[in-house]
A and B are shown apart, each in its own frame.
Chain A
Amino acid sequence: MGNAEQKNVKRKLDELKRITGLSFHMDLPDTEGLSDSEAEEAASYVLHQLDALISSYKETNSKEAIYKRWITGDIETHELIHTAKRFHVPLSARRAVFLVETKETMDSSVMTILKHAFPDTVHIWFVPMSSCQMAIVYTFTEEPTEDELHSTAYLVMDLLNTEALVRVKVSYSAVTEHLNQLPGAYQEAGLALNVGKIFYPGQYVYPYNKLGIGRLIYGLSRERCSAYLKEVLGTDSPDFFQPETVHVINCFLDNNLNIAETTRRLHMHRNTLIYRLEQIQKETGLDIRQFHDAMTLKTVLFVINYMKNL
């Protein structure tokens, strides 16, 4: 191995030592008797292996990678404590996880914009979780109010809408007290995002504690949902709920079962609406002019909507 290659290998070994804190020694292969091209090939092989080792170590031990492991819980307690110490991160602090999801693949501008808008890298960490999802771990110096959490989520959304011109949904978790609670917070934010997208598609920000009935229905198995629909409607694949019918039902429920208000909103004659409601009763057995039946049908619509997303 020539001098240049030997210098290169030493440089790589030094880099390994710097990033891992461990000393490495390598017995370089004897290249005596090899042709120049063979010696060059051997040196290139060694350098390639060292590069792979360095990038693999960086991949699993970079700040971003460790944050990701803290968030996903893919880390042992002793390693969590060790890495927290290494990055000077206190174990106890008030942190919430905000989960940002873009409709299209996130380009680098999203991260750039967020990092410039929230430059406090000590208290705010941006962790890409997938091509369309990013977790933001936000450390609060004081206990944040519900309004503060909500407005932070809105701030992120409005910022990305106006500056990056991307479609985005944001959910957030409750405030945690310890670093080892981050996986729970991440799951909570993930649940809020998934439930929100299915049950409240007209919203853009989903708080962990405003999931309503969606929280109950989300996670039910297809079998349970089918059984419920069979119990109520006699079938688990009702073809009766066409968009127009669902619109009439939603309108009637939104207007507190008030015929006059619903007819005004639907620009429909009173008799037409009553006829439609009777048709719904004929098909479903539910008279939604009665509170109990209205509530049942609302739940049925939730379940049907959920099953579409299973």
Chain B
Amino acid sequence: MATLSLKGIQKVYPNGYHAVTDFNLEIADKEFIIFVGPSGCGKSTTLRMIAGLEDISDGEFRIDGKLMNNIEPKDRDIAMVFQNYALYPHMTVYDNMAFSLKLRKVPKDEIDKKVREAAKILDLDKLLDRKPNALSGGQRQRVAMGRAIVRNPKVFLMDEPLSNLDAKLRVQMRIEISKLHQNLGATIIYVTHDQTEAMTLGTRIVVMKDGIMQQVDTPQNLYDKPCNLFVAGFIGSPQMNFMDAQVKVSGNDVTLKVGHSEMKVPDSKKQALIDGNYNGKTVILGIRPEDIYEADDAGAPVGLNINSKIKFYELLGAEVYLYFDMEGTQMTARVSSSTKLKSGMDAKFTLDMEKIHLFDKETEVTITN
């Protein structure tokens, strides 16, 4: 497989629009890299530059050390799986997978070997004689993957390959792709706007916004240590709760004032506020829904207690989302489904202050990580 290097990559269109700005990334062999971000953030454009389907305006892109900027897509040794896949309807699964190799005049026995190998990996070996209309949605998507696998490329590029599938199939295919990565030992770059796909599939995730890379990290680190407000809000569902808080430093104690509530900042977080000269300034406080507990829960940590009224109750089976107001900000708590709380009831919550995130209000950069 392959290593990829992207240095200072830019995409500027002739009308002056900057689609991607200063993109730097080193991708190791066999990595599963995810580009994630909202619509228009430049993730697909970056993938298309890697594929050679878009010109690179500036910067250097290398595969295994070889400069690729001006190499045609067909000479880059890549294979792509996109959102829309049209299988050849009158061809069998076997022929669908073999077709691109036939066009490239690959010898028949080599084609046969590659197709059968790919079919085995994808569990399609018993379906090789079927035509696409006799396949399920998931099987068709696997054939589309098979067409990429038979090319035996250095890099697989996937652009939202699951977004046309229904929710159940998407979960199933997510597992298939993960298995595929393990079995092939392939370098994969995968674009999605779905953060669940990103978190479950990627060895590393690149979060993008407005054409700019925000953070590159492992899924766990992105979740635990987001580098800015955007990443904190984008990763995690339901998203992190945010509210304005005023910092007050008195001696060695640091407190945060949210409306009328005042909370003591734990030792692990306060030094950054003191060092950053935040006394008297407003910062953004973030806390994930699972870090808010029912106060009388046996497992609740020592933290800030707040009283509120439950506005909405959402049961998701194993867990419940509770929506309530805290000093004018709508909050979400994720609690066990054994909770007795329901819509309209008064409730007492505890915020785990060890788990709070603080962001500079102006730059939106994390203060406490």
- Chain A residues with CB under 8 Å of chain B are 104, 109, 112-113, 116-119, 151, 154-155, 157-159, 161-163, 165-167, 198-199, 201-202, 241, 243, 246-247, 249-251, 260, 264-265, 301, 305, 308
Whether B15 and A158, one on each chain, are in contact in the complex, defined by CB atoms closer than 8 angstroms, is no
Whether B364 and A264, one on each chain, are in contact in the complex, defined by CB atoms closer than 8 angstroms, is yes
Among B15, B84, B88, which residue has its beta carbon within 8 angstroms of that of A154? Answer: B84
Task: Given A119-B90, A151-B84, output 17 extra A-B contacts at Cβ < 8 Å.
Answer: A118-B86, A119-B88, A119-B89, A158-B84, A166-B73, A201-B14, A201-B17, A202-B45, A243-B12, A247-B12, A247-B18, A250-B16, A264-B363, A301-B15, A305-B15, A305-B16, A308-B14
A-B contact pairs, 9 of them (CB 8 A): A117-B88, A162-B81, A163-B147, A167-B54, A199-B15, A201-B17, A241-B16, A249-B16, A250-B16
User: Counting CB contacts under 8 A, is B9 at the interface?
Assistant: no
Whether B19 and A167, one on each chain, are in contact in the complex, defined by CB atoms closer than 8 angstroms, is no
How far apart sit A113 and B99, CA to CA, in the bound complex (Å)?
A: 9
By a CB distance below 8 angstroms, the chain B residues around A251 are 18
How far apart sit A142 and B103, CA to CA, in the bound complex (Å)?
A: 34
- Chain B residues with CB under 8 Å of chain A are 12-19, 45, 51-54, 72-74, 79-91, 99-100, 103, 147-148, 210, 212, 362-364
Whether B15 and A201, one on each chain, are in contact in the complex, defined by CB atoms closer than 8 angstroms, is yes
By a CB distance below 8 angstroms, the chain B residues around A243 are 12, 16
Among A116, A118, A246, A264, which residue has its beta carbon within 8 angstroms of that of B16? Answer: A246
Chain B nearest CB, measured from A260 CB (Å):
7
Whether B85 and A162, one on each chain, are in contact in the complex, defined by CB atoms closer than 8 angstroms, is yes
By a CB distance below 8 angstroms, the chain B residues around A155 are 84, 86
A-B residue pairs, 9 tightest by C-beta: A246-B16, A158-B84, A158-B82, A165-B74, A165-B73, A201-B13, A117-B86, A305-B15, A162-B80
How far apart sit A118 and B90, CA to CA, in the bound complex (Å)?
A: 9
How far apart sit A305 and B12, CA to CA, in the bound complex (Å)?
A: 13
Whether A167 and B73, one on each chain, are in contact in the complex, defined by CB atoms closer than 8 angstroms, is yes
Chain B nearest CB, measured from A100 CB (Å):
14
Whether A301 and B16, one on each chain, are in contact in the complex, defined by CB atoms closer than 8 angstroms, is yes
By a CB distance below 8 angstroms, the chain B residues around A264 are 363-364
By a CB distance below 8 angstroms, the chain B residues around A265 are 210, 212
Chain B nearest CB, measured from A158 CB (Å):
4
Whether A162 and B82, one on each chain, are in contact in the complex, defined by CB atoms closer than 8 angstroms, is yes
Among A118, A157, A163, A250, which residue has its beta carbon within 8 angstroms of that of B17? Answer: A250
Whether B53 and A167, one on each chain, are in contact in the complex, defined by CB atoms closer than 8 angstroms, is yes
Whether A161 and B53, one on each chain, are in contact in the complex, defined by CB atoms closer than 8 angstroms, is yes
Whether B14 and A161, one on each chain, are in contact in the complex, defined by CB atoms closer than 8 angstroms, is no
Whether B210 and A162, one on each chain, are in contact in the complex, defined by CB atoms closer than 8 angstroms, is no
Nearest chain B residue, comparing its CB with the CB of A199: B15
By a CB distance below 8 angstroms, the chain A residues around B148 are 162
How far apart sit A249 and B363, CA to CA, in the bound complex (Å)?
A: 20
Nearest chain A residue, comparing its CB with the CB of B148: A162
- With a 10 A CB-CB cut-off, give which of B17, B54, B80 has the most chain A CB atoms: B17
How far apart sit A182 and B195, CA to CA, in the bound complex (Å)?
A: 44
Chain A nearest CB, measured from B148 CB (Å):
7
Nearest chain A residue, comparing its CB with the CB of B209: A265
**Given the contacts A158-B84, A162-B148, A163-B147, A305 and B103 also touching, CB distance less than 8 Å:** no
Nearest chain B residue, comparing its CB with the CB of A201: B13
Whether A109 and B16, one on each chain, are in contact in the complex, defined by CB atoms closer than 8 angstroms, is no
Nearest chain A residue, comparing its CB with the CB of B363: A264
By a CB distance below 8 angstroms, the chain A residues around B12 are 243, 247
Chain A nearest CB, measured from B135 CB (Å):
16
How far apart sit A306 and B133, CA to CA, in the bound complex (Å)?
A: 46
How far apart sit A202 and B42, CA to CA, in the bound complex (Å)?
A: 10
Whether B99 and A159, one on each chain, are in contact in the complex, defined by CB atoms closer than 8 angstroms, is no
Nearest chain A residue, comparing its CB with the CB of B361: A260
How far apart sit A135 and B119, CA to CA, in the bound complex (Å)?
A: 35
How far apart sit A151 and B86, CA to CA, in the bound complex (Å)?
A: 11
By a CB distance below 8 angstroms, the chain A residues around B52 are 165, 167
Whether B16 and A161, one on each chain, are in contact in the complex, defined by CB atoms closer than 8 angstroms, is no
How far apart sit A34 and B265, CA to CA, in the bound complex (Å)?
A: 114
Chain B nearest CB, measured from A120 CB (Å):
9
Chain A nearest CB, measured from B56 CB (Å):
13
How far apart sit A264 and B190, CA to CA, in the bound complex (Å)?
A: 27
How far apart sit A301 and B17, CA to CA, in the bound complex (Å)?
A: 11
By a CB distance below 8 angstroms, the chain A residues around B73 are 161, 165-167
Nearest chain A residue, comparing its CB with the CB of B78: A165
Whether B362 and A260, one on each chain, are in contact in the complex, defined by CB atoms closer than 8 angstroms, is yes
